[in-house]
Structure 1
Amino acid sequence: METIYVTGHRNPDLDSVCSAWCYARLKNKIDKRYKYEPIRIGHLNETTKYQFRKTRVTPPRCVKDVRARVRDVMINKFPSLHPEDPVYSLVTLMREKHASVVPLLDGENYFGLLSLDEITSFFLKENAGERPHYRFEQENFSKVIRGEFIKKNNMKSFEAYIMTGAMEFDIYSRRINSLLPDLPVLVVGKRLKHLQYAVDNQFPAIILTGIEPSEKVDLNLSGYKGIIYKSYEDTAETIRLLRMSLPLKRLVAKDPPKVSVDDLFDDAKRLLMNSEYRGLPVFDNDKFIGFVTRRCFLEKPRKKVIMVDHNELSQSIEGLEEAEILEIIDHHRLDAERTREPIFIASEPVGSTCTIVYHQYLRWSVRVDRLTARMLLAGIISDTVILKSPTTTPQDLRAVNKLAKIAQIDNVYEFGEELFSVASLLNKADPKQVIEGDFKTYQTGDVRFGIGQVEVTTLTKVDEVKEKYIRQLESTKQKYALDWAMLLVTDVIAESSILLSTTYPQKERALIYPIDSPGKYHLKGVLSRKKQLLPEVLSVLEEGD
C-alpha cells in the first residue's frame, strides 16, 4: 500500500505535530486506498514531548526529505540461484521468468549479479580461440542431464576439456596422446574399446550415451578413480547440456558498483547509466536486499505529501519540489507553489491548524475519540497561548469547548498552564535549540529575516542569559544567510514578551517597542509572532529610509 506523508513545518511546534498526527488519523479512517503517515521534520520541543509522553502516544517519526531514493524503485522480490548452480539453471530461469538480472546468493551471502551479458560472454569466449577447458561440478551432471551416476568419487570439481568418442580407435587414441598431460571428459556411446582406454588412463569423467536405463556395461572398473555418468540423452544433446553444467560462479568476472538503499534516485541512475552493467546490487549497510536495473529508472517516482500548518516550500521538508502535494491544511497567509494538478486546500483564518483539522472531522462526519480530542485541544491551546493570543477566533473557542468535553478536561486553562509549565527554561536550555526549535524565515524585497519564538512561564531569567542568546542569534543569522534574526520570548502567564535581536542599524530602532537595553525590547501584551510581531517588522522594513 502506497504511503502518503502528512507533515508539519520545519522546527515543529505542538500545533504542527498534533495537526499532522490527527489529520493522518482522519485520512486513514476515510480513505483505505493509502496509508497516511504523520511525520515531522525537526526535533520536538519540550511541550510537544510532554504531550505525547502524557498520552503514551509514539510521536511521528522524523523524516529528513522526500526525494526519490533507491528504496523507492529497487527490486526486492526476485528469484535467485546458488553460485554452484549450473549455467543451465540461469538460462532456464531467464527464459521462464523473463529476468534480465539474477543475483547469486549463498544463503544470505551475496556472491554476484548475472545478466544476459555474462551468458553471451561465456558462449562467445568458449567458441573463440583454442579448445576450451571447463570447470565441472560433479553434482551438476544430474541437475542438467537426465540420467544416473554409475560411479562417483570424492572430487567435488575438476577441470577438463570435452571429447567425443565418435572417431576410429586409432585416431581417437592418437588425438588423446597429442593433448597429454590433459585428459578429457569423454562423451561416448557403447564403444567398449574407447571406454576401456578411458578407464585404463584414468580420464576424470566418462559420460555414456545411447544406452538404455536398464542396460549394463561390461567394463572392468576395479582400478578406475573417475566418474561415470549414464545419460538418457543422445550424444549431441548430452554435449550441449554438459557445456551448461558449469557452476555460475565461473561467470562472475567483474564486481559491479554497489548502491545503498538510501542513495538518491538521480545519483544511482547516473552511476548505472555511465556503467557497462544491466543492474547494480542494493545494500542496506552490509546486507544485500535487492537490485536495480535500467528499467527501474525509466520514471522517477514522486512521494505524495499533505502539508499541514504551513504552505511554503521554504518552510517544508527537503525535496518537496520533487514530490506531489495533494492537500494543504493551514491557517497562515498563502504563499504556496504552483501545483501540477488541482489540490484540496483548507485554509481558515483561525488561531490553530488543529481547529481546521477538527472542522475536517465534522465535515466527514467522523467521530472524534477521546485521544484525538486531547491532541487537537493541546494544539489549539498551545498555538493560541491558552486562548489569550489575538489570533484566537470564535471558531477556536467553539472547538475548544467541544473537544474539552470529549477529552474529559474540566478546566482548559489549567490544562494549558500544565502544558507550558514544561516549556524551556532559558538559563538551562541550549540557546541553539531554543532559537531554532521554532524558527521561521521570511523575505520582503531584498531583506531576509527570521523570528524564533519560545514560550516560558516567567521572564525573570532573560537578563541573565541575554548575551549568550544574542550571540547564538548571530550564529543563526549566518547559518540561514539572513540580514536580521530575532527571538520572541513569550510569558504565557503574564501575557507579555521580550524580543532579543541581532543588530540591524537600518531598521531596528524604527520598531515601536521600547528598548530595555541594546538588543532587548519589551513587548507588553504581545503573544503572537504571526499577528502582532511580524506585521510590525514587515511595516518597518517596507517603509522608506
Structure 2
Amino acid sequence: MNPSINPDSVVGVIDHHALQSKTIVTDRPIYIDIRPWGSMSTIVAHTYLTHGRRPSTSVAGMLLCAILSDTLNLQGPTTTEWDRMMVAVLADLSGVDDIQFLASQQFKAKSRELAGLSAHGLVNGDQKEFSFENEGFRGDVGFAVVETTDDAVIIDRLQELLPEMVACKKERNLDVLFLAVVNIVQLKGTLVICGPSELSLAKAAFGEGAKLNDSGTIMDLGNRVSRKKDYIPEITRAIKSGWVKPPYRGPSVVDMSQLGTLEVDPLDPFQKVVRKGSVLLEKGVTSPISGGKRVEMTEEEKKVDA
C-alpha cells in the first residue's frame, strides 16, 4: 500500500486482484470484497444493483469508462460475463448509445496523455511491486504497464526509458523491474528489459524462444496483455520453479545524488515531472546481451544494477 495512506483511515477494500504479500494489514476488521472479475468498478456497479440503488448518470458513466479501460473494451483476457453485463446496464443508465465509440475516444485520449509524459511518468505511473520468498530468490519485483493505441511512440523512447528504469530500481530498492507496453487496439504486448536480471527472468517466465531485439532490451510478448493474468502469474511460476538471479556483482556504491533529481517542468501546463542530472542519462544504459553473452556495463550501471 502507498505509504502516504494511513492504514487507520482504511474502512474497506474492494478489488479484483490477487492478494499479494504486501496486502494491507489493519488493527481491526474491515469490509473486504474481492472478486475475480475484470474491474473493481464492475463490483461497485453490481453492489449498487444488489442494494436496489441506482447510480447517478455521472457515476454510471465513470464506472462504465473504468470497466472499459480495465478490460480493454471487454477484449482483454480478464473480462468476465459480469463485466459485460454491467457494461450493458451502465451504458443504459448513463445514456451511452455507442460503447465502441466511447471506448475508442477514451483510449485515444489516454494515449495522447501518455505520449506527453516524461520517462519518469511512464515508468512510475502504473507500477506495482510484488514480493517473493523462494529458496532461489527472495526480493521485490516491480512491474510497470503502459497501455496505448500506438506502442511505437513509447518504444521509440527506449533510450529515455532504460536509464529511468535503472534509476527507479535503485530508488525503490527493487531487485527486478519490468515495463510492459501494451497496444490496446492490436492486443499485443512488448516488454522493456533494463538489465541482466530482467533478461534472465523474462526468458524463464516467457520462454527462451521469445523474440528479442539485437540488444536484448525488447521482448515480444505476443498476445499477452494483462499484468494480472498474463505477466505476474508467469513470473511467479518461474521464480517458484527455481529461478535464480544472475551472479552478484558487488554492493551498490552509487549515491542517490548521482541519480539526479526529479523536478517539475515549469513550462509544462500539466506539471510534468522530469529527471535531471543523472549519471545514467549522461552515460546511457548498455545492452544486457551481446551475441548471446552478457556484455560489460558502464561502471555507473554496474554499481546501480548490482
Question: With structure 1 as the length reference, what TM-score do the two structures score?
Answer: 0.40
Output the CA distance in 2 between the equivalents of 1:457 and 1:476: 25
Output the CA distance in 1 between the equivalents of 2:155 and 2:3: 35
| Deviation, structure 1 residue 320 | 2.4
Output the CA distance in 2 between the equivalents of 1:418 and 1:537: 33
1:316 corresponds to: 2
1:359 corresponds to: 46
Query: What is the percentage of aligned positions where both structures have the same residue?
Result: 27
Q: Name which one, 1 or 2, has greater alpha-carbon Rg.
A: 1
The structure 2 residue matched to 1:400, chosen from 87, 90, 102, is: 87
Answer yes or no: is 1:471 the counterpart of 2:163: yes
2:13 corresponds to: 328
Letter aligned with residue 203 of structure 2: R
* Structure with the largest fraction of strand: 1
2:189 corresponds to: 497
Deviates more, 1:360-369 or 1:457-466: 457-466
| Deviation, structure 1 residue 365 | 1.4
Contact 2:111 2:150 in 1 (8 A): no
Gaps of 5+ in 1: 1-314
| Deviation, structure 1 residue 530 | 1.0
Output the CA distance in 2 between the equivalents of 1:320 and 1:343: 14
Letter aligned with residue 530 of structure 1: K
Contact 1:385 1:527 in 2 (8 A): no
- CA deviations 1:429-454 (Å, max 9, x no partner) are 31111111111111112121111111
2:120 corresponds to: 432
2:60 corresponds to: 373
- CA deviations 1:80-132 (Å, max 9, x no partner) are xxxxxxxxxxxxxxxxxxxxxxxxxxxxxxxxxxxxxxxxxxxxxxxxxxxxx
* 3-state SS of 1:460 partner: helix
- CA deviations 1:455-510 (Å, max 9, x no partner) are 11122334521122111111111111111111111111111111102211553332
Output the CA distance in 2 between the equivalents of 1:361 and 1:475: 43
* 3-state SS of 2:157 partner: helix
Letter aligned with residue 320 of structure 1: N
2:228 corresponds to: 530
* 3-state SS of 2:110 partner: coil
- CA deviations 1:184-240 (Å, max 9, x no partner) are xxxxxxxxxxxxxxxxxxxxxxxxxxxxxxxxxxxxxxxxxxxxxxxxxxxxxxxxx
- CA deviations 1:369-411 (Å, max 9, x no partner) are 2111100001100011111111110000000000011111122
The 5 Å alignment of 1:404-419 reads 404-419=91-106
Contact 1:427 1:465 in 2 (8 A): no
2:142 corresponds to: 450
| Deviation, structure 1 residue 317 | 4.7
The structure 2 residue matched to 1:509, chosen from 169, 193, 203, is: 203
The structure 2 residue matched to 1:340, chosen from 4, 27, 46, is: 27
Gaps of 5+ in 2: 244-306
Output the CA distance in 2 between the equivalents of 1:337 and 1:521: 33
- CA deviations 1:269-320 (Å, max 9, x no partner) are xxxxxxxxxxxxxxxxxxxxxxxxxxxxxxxxxxxxxxxxxxxxxx335252
Letter aligned with residue 146 of structure 2: V
Question: With structure 2 as the length reference, what TM-score do the two structures score?
Answer: 0.70
Letter aligned with residue 433 of structure 1: G
Contact 1:424 1:454 in 2 (8 A): no
2:218 corresponds to: 520
* 3-state SS of 1:422 partner: helix
* Structure with the largest fraction of helix: 2
Output the CA distance in 1 between the equivalents of 2:117 and 2:24: 36
Letter aligned with residue 439 of structure 1: Q
